[in-house]
Amino acid sequence: MTMETHTTDYLIVGSGAVGMAFADTILTETDANIVIIDRHHKPGGHWNVAYPFVTLHQPSAFYGVSSRELSKGCKDEVGLNKGLNELATGAEVSAYFENVMREQFLPTGRVKYYPMCDYKGNGNFESILTGQKHHVEVNKKIVDCTYLKTTVPSTHKPNFTVAEGVQFMPLNDLPKIQSPPAGYVIVGGGKTGIDAVLFLLENGANPDDITWIMPRDAWLLDRQNTQPTEEFFASSMGAQANQMEAIANSTSIKDMFSRLEASGVFLRIDENVWPTMFHGATISKMELAELRRVRNVVRKGRVTSILANKIVLEEGEIETSVKHIHVDCSASAISNLTIKPIFSEGVITPQTVRSYQPVFSAAFIAHVEASYPNDEVKNKICNVVPLPNTDLDWLRLTAAFLMNQHIWSQDPDLKKWLLNNRLDGFSKLVRAVKEDDMEKLMILKRMRDNGKPAMAKLQGYLAAIQQGQTA
């Protein structure tokens, strides 16, 4: 079988949300040609294998590609997100990306798309179905959209042993249960664990039949503070003002987190347990109330093995049985937290340049690639905002985010792009404030007045952490 050869400007490895957002901006802002390859049979990346009841946990308005709206422009009227802007389902997101590819990208004639292919490196890839080998000559950059290595429950291999005969499943299989078990054991305290518990409760499970193994408690974000519409200005922009104020006025790291919680920026499931994890997960207050109904929460570290009659954890054991269903929610959404330069010779490695928003970040990086002269300048604009794991990581990501915001605010062209990009959201809210709206102006003033003191305080805390001191 002969090698097929191609020539393109950009070779994008991965047609998940990040790859699609990057390609969309390049297509919109340049005349470049693109080759996109992916292991999946259609665009959307991990959405192709997501659990059936998954939804976005941020408003749909903040997701997708810049040129095409995902949101239907409505609020949820029922369910635990009631009163807040809608959260697209996994099926909606998957269909959205497929439509973007079929209706926008391919008709341009500038995109070649190769699904079900393995990337072998150095511009080489191979069809999973036929074995056909391909080589791509790249004029500009290879864009590695696989670097963050998103992992999903359905393909996750747990880091503990499971004895034969134990009922053990990813949360993908919860809707397939045919008969009531003796109880449910949820393994994992992150977002998928939260979703598994909420699925059970919303479908009538008795909270006393749920055992929730939570190795670490997490600080959570109130979803009401992430709403992109003017109706929620006091919540969304108010939360940002509260955040700056809490940091600036804090006397220690612990005092800072206490202030962030008291001002409504952070939530936690158990107010008697101090969280040590932060993954940026959002939650509504109604969801929080439901989760607090589960009383059997096990805090004995991570699972090391599940046997027929007991679960062994790092700090103890609990009873179980083969009649219980054990649900694996231990996969970490992102398995690669190592930072590398986004722009290097011949390669772009998309990472987050704004907290919690990898898709916006990909679009922004593509704009910088299209608009600025060299990799050194581009990297100065696109400092990586590190993905968080622990509570202290929140300080690092917030400091990096504030630094980027400051850099962007000094560039009139970037400010204009942000204002006109639909994935940004909050720039339009700020720009729309009228001169006589004193309530909103006071919120913005609190943000400005506390911005520099907050940054100085964060830098002081980070220096202390680096020296092995925490407070």
Question: How far is Cα of residue 433 from the mean position of the Cα atoms in its chain?
Answer: 29
Q: Of the candidates 158, 157, 182, which has an alpha carbon nearest to the alpha carbon of residue 302? A: 158
- What would the two tokens of residue 366 be? 């593509």
Cα(401)–Cα(405) distance, integer angstroms? 6
Write down the pLDDT at residue 304. 97
User: What single letter denotes the amino acid at residue 148?
Assistant: L
- What would the two tokens of residue 443 be? 């919120």
Helix/strand/coil percentages in the chain, nearest 5: 40, 20, 40
Cα(423)–Cα(421) distance, integer angstroms? 6
Give just the sign of the alpha carbon dihedral 317, 318, 324, 326: negative
Q: Identify the three-state secondary structure at position 420.
A: helix
Write down the pLDDT at residue 415. 93
Write down the pLDDT at residue 156. 75
* Strands (E) located in 281-377: 282-283, 296-298, 303-306, 310-313, 316-319, 324-328, 343-344, 347-348
Q: Where on the phi/psi map is residue 287: left (φ > 0), alpha (ψ -120 to 50), or beta?
A: alpha
Global pTM? 0.94
Cα(358)–Cα(366) distance, integer angstroms? 12
Asked if 237 contacts 443 with a C-beta cutoff of 8 angstroms, the reply is: yes
Give just the sign of the alpha carbon dihedral 387, 392, 394, 398: negative
The domains of the chain, with CATH numbers, are 4-150+335-393 (3.50.50.60), 151-219+282-333 (3.50.50.60), 221-267+433-471 (no CATH)
- What would the two tokens of residue 94 be? 């998957």
User: What single letter denotes the amino acid at residue 382?
Assistant: C
Cα(73)–Cα(54) distance, integer angstroms? 20
Q: Identify the three-state secondary structure at position 98.
A: helix
Which phi and psi (to 5°) does residue 219 adopt?
A: -75, 135
- Stated as kind and residue range, the H or E segment containing 137 is strand 133-144
Rg (CA), the chain: 23
Q: Of the candidates 314, 261, 308, 257, which has an alpha carbon nearest to the alpha carbon of residue 288? A: 261
Write down the pLDDT at residue 334. 60
Write down the pLDDT at residue 431. 87
Cα(152)–Cα(234) distance, integer angstroms? 35
Write down the pLDDT at residue 157. 84
Asked if 184 contacts 210 with a C-beta cutoff of 8 angstroms, the reply is: yes
Flag residues of the chain having pLDDT under 50.
Answer: none
Q: Where on the phi/psi map is residue 136: left (φ > 0), alpha (ψ -120 to 50), or beta?
A: beta
